[in-house]
Amino acid sequence: MGICNSKSKPNKSVPDKSRFEDSIKHHDIENNMYYLPNDIDESDRLQILHFVERYIWQSNFFAPINHLLNQEGAMVLDVGTGRGSWLLEMATKYPNAKFIGMDISPVQLNVSKPKNAEFIEANILEHLPFADNTFDYVFQRFLNVGILTKSWPSVISELVRILKPGGYIELMEGEILFNNMGPATTRLMNGMIIIFDESGLDSMACHKIHGYLEEHKHLHNVHYEIKKHMDFECGEKFYKMKYQIYANGLVAVKPKLINIIEASSDEYDELLKKMCDEMIENESFGLRVRVYAQKLDTSNTNVKSC
Ligand SMILES: C[S@@+](CC[C@H](N)C(=O)[O-])C[C@H]1O[C@@H](n2cnc3c(N)ncnc32)[C@H](O)[C@@H]1O
């Protein structure tokens, strides 16, 4: 039997096609503010992003779940799985657990999938097709691009609903602006902030995720970790990879952003090149936060009052 709960409300916004904007392939979801594409370049960008994040944190997760992941049949959900890089690595490392990668777009795999991994299409802004108390661990990384500021609390409630009592939820987000920005980078990234604001997205979500988990009445044991800079020498190659993550995203939003920052097409391309030099020279780093919490087990008498 598949993991999806057929008794749940159907997830109506699952896409069956994409749309093209200025020749760039995007998700074709009504009322969705997600502005990044869903093409091969984006998939490659997400692969680099995964390697960079693992390197920055020196781990794939923060919650104390090692014991859970080694249990036969432990259930893990990766929300907005993207290319599925995190999930595939985790599924390979923890063969006893079952991993579900969920995304609004179909995952295009160019590698074989471990037996304990499955991908489904669903929209986090709607009721998810899983029964209450399904997952031991729910992981969500970099969804500030897809969740409206006003929707964060309801998204978290939905994730808590499908989490088992005693299970863990973990969120990770980063700032859009970063330290030591040169002039070209500042111009581009300030434009990104305007895109976030105009779309109703929260460019400061990383500073709020801890509070969202603290405030949720079914969660306790909330912990967070902030990374403000790299703790060790990384070298030019690392900052080039970081640049590539931003640059590929900025190429995708070029048609929107050139209007916002009032740049010509050539000027924009020049700004991107300068941004590369600036990021390497300044060793630019964007603050990121990861936070986890545990779902209260209400059968246990030792619960906090709601
Ligand atoms: C920036 S990517 C992060 C991917 C992955 N979590 C990672 O860290 O590598 C955001 C992902 O969220 C997905 N997404 C955006 N809006 C979504 C929604 N409403 N429901 C489900 N997935 C969504 C996108 O398709 C994309 O794959």
Question: Which pLDDT tens digit goes with each residue over 211-261?
Answer: 999 999 999 999 999 999 888 888 888 888 888 888 888 988 899 999 999
What's the confidence (pLDDT) of residue 252?
83
Pick the closest to residue 55 from 247, 303, 231, 263 (CA basis). Answer: 231
In a domain, 193, yes or no: no
Ligand 1 atom, smallest distance to 140 CA: 6
Ligand 1 binding pocket includes 143 (Cβ within 6 Å): yes
Ligand 1 binding pocket includes 123 (Cβ within 6 Å): yes
In a domain, 242, yes or no: no
What's the confidence (pLDDT) of residue 105?
87
Mutate to test the pocket of ligand 1, among 25, 36, 103 (most ligand atoms within 8 A of CB): 103
Q: Which residues does residue 3 pair with via DSSP β-bridges, in sequence order?
A: none
In a domain, 115, yes or no: yes
Ligand 1 atom, smallest distance to 146 CA: 16
Ligand 1 binding pocket includes 46 (Cβ within 6 Å): yes
At 303, is the secondary structure helix, strand, or coil? coil
Alpha-carbon distance of 187 to 195, in angstroms, equals 13
What's the confidence (pLDDT) of residue 229?
87
In a domain, 268, yes or no: no
Other Cβ atoms less than 10 A from the Cβ of 98: the count is 20
Nearest CA to ligand 1 atom 4: 82
Give the CATH number for residue 208.
3.40.50.150
What's the confidence (pLDDT) of residue 289?
98
Nearest CA to ligand 1 atom 11: 80
Low-confidence ranges of the chain (pLDDT < 50): 1-16, 301-306
What's the confidence (pLDDT) of residue 188?
96
What's the confidence (pLDDT) of residue 15?
46
In a domain, 63, yes or no: yes
- How many domains are there within the chain? 1
In a domain, 280, yes or no: no
Ligand 1 atom, smallest distance to 123 CA: 20
In a domain, 254, yes or no: no
For residue 110, give its domain range: 40-176+202-235+286-295
What's the confidence (pLDDT) of residue 28?
63
Yes or no: say if 160 and 219 are a contact pair by the CB < 8 Å rule: yes
What's the confidence (pLDDT) of residue 233?
80
In a domain, 20, yes or no: no
